Amino acid sequence: MTGIGLDRLSLNQATVKHLGLAEAVALCARHDIPAIGLWRDRVAETGLDSAVAAVRAAGLHVSSLCRGGFFTQADADGRAAARADNRAAVAEAAELGADTLVLVCGGLVPGSRDLGLARRMVADAIGDLVPVAQRLGVRLGIEALHPMFCADRCVIASLGEAADLALTFPADVVGVVVDTYHVWWDARLSAEIARAAGRIVSYQVCDWVLPLPADVLLGRGHLGDGEIDFGPVSAAVTAAGYDGYVEVEIFNAGVWAAPPDRTAAIVRERFGSVLGW
């Protein structure tokens, strides 16, 4: 076959934001979706043990846990809290058997415009987390966010930068997340994906839909509804050796308002037609 088969489809829970964990798990089972990306708030709401039991009972694989990160706190208390929270996230990812803990690293340090400082803090915080992750067998996934989120959410703003950072740590513990929405625009994307070979721990997909909505966090769409050419990105990720699950993760108020079964059906249909190139 060519392309990516439906046996590699994972539904990121954020795509059906209004469902609790048990409902999202049941949705995946109903639609023959073999894996799920979980969010920590929904895991906490359910309870970790119940969440683990639910995904196991359904025979679902957990392709990612979202998310750790937000390392760039201004004060020592904030940094200590972030550190503790990230250690807890690693432990949760281990219990859930998640392929990766996704890290959204944080924006500029409050009160500072120093990008270099924020980036050094991210590197230091990941360094702190690595022994914990290594001990528990969890892989950390550094996610480059779109540069429009650089100031307030993630100073790691390109895949190349995420790869540079990941490559300073052991390959079995730190990798990168490739999310089409965040990196599709980059003229260096194919080269950077190739450079990240062996380090790609998650491939997330959704489309870039115009016009951007008032809240740019929510401008994502179903595969095929927007501007992204998924073929070359998928081919590069595949050539770099990634053969894990591919998560559909869509933040979109319209998608959230749709009936979840309808959303799951579209996710499945588009995955086949757009990624099975």
The yes or no reply on residue 113 touching a copy of itself (CB under 8 A) is: yes
Q: Which of 2, 76, 111, 214 binds a copy of itself (CB under 8 A)?
A: 214
Q: Which stretch binds a copy of itself (CB under 8 A): 54-62, 74-82, 84-92, 206-214?
A: 206-214
> In whole angstroms, how far apart are CA 17 and each of 21, 25, 111?
10, 13, 32
Q: Which of 227, 265, 276, 277 binds a copy of itself (CB under 8 A)?
A: 227
The yes or no reply on residue 253 touching a copy of itself (CB under 8 A) is: no
Q: Which stretch binds a copy of itself (CB under 8 A): 83-91, 98-106, 146-154, 198-206?
A: 146-154
Give the three-class secondary structure for 58: coil
User: Which residue reads 């401008």 in tokens?
Assistant: 219
Q: Which of 148, 194, 218, 258 binds a copy of itself (CB under 8 A)?
A: 148
> What is the CB neighbour count within 10 angstroms for residue 168?
11
What number of chain residues touch a copy of itself (CB under 8 A)? 32
x/- mask, a copy of itself, residues 172-201, rule CB under 8 A, reads ------------xxxxx-------------
The answer to whether the CB of 139 falls within 8 A of the CB of 101 is: yes
The yes or no reply on residue 69 touching a copy of itself (CB under 8 A) is: no
Q: Minimal CA–CA distance to 38: which of 15, 69, 4? A: 15
Q: Which stretch binds a copy of itself (CB under 8 A): 19-27, 41-49, 149-157, 194-202?
A: 149-157
Q: Which of 17, 146, 220, 270 binds a copy of itself (CB under 8 A)?
A: 146
Distance of alpha carbon 153 from the chain centroid? 14
The yes or no reply on residue 164 touching a copy of itself (CB under 8 A) is: yes
In the complex, minimum distance from the CB of residue 262 to a copy of itself, in angstroms, rounded to a whole number: 25
**Which H, E and C letters describe 256-273, residue by residue?**
HHCCHHHHHHHHHHHHHH
The yes or no reply on residue 108 touching a copy of itself (CB under 8 A) is: yes
d(CA 66, CA 18): 16
Local structure of residue 152 (DSSP, 8 states):
T
Burial class from Cβ neighbours inside 10 Å (0-12, 13-18, 19+) for residue 31 reads: middle
Name the strand (E) or helix (H) holding 38: strand 35-39
Sequence-separated (6 or more) residues with CB below 8 Å from residue 212: 219
For a copy of itself, the closer CB: 16 or 206: 206
In the complex, minimum distance from the CB of residue 108 to a copy of itself, in angstroms, rounded to a whole number: 6
d(CA 103, CA 88): 13
Q: Which residues bind a copy of itself (CB under 8 A)?
A: 108, 113-115, 119, 146-148, 150-152, 155, 157-158, 160-161, 164, 184-188, 208, 210-212, 214, 216, 226-229
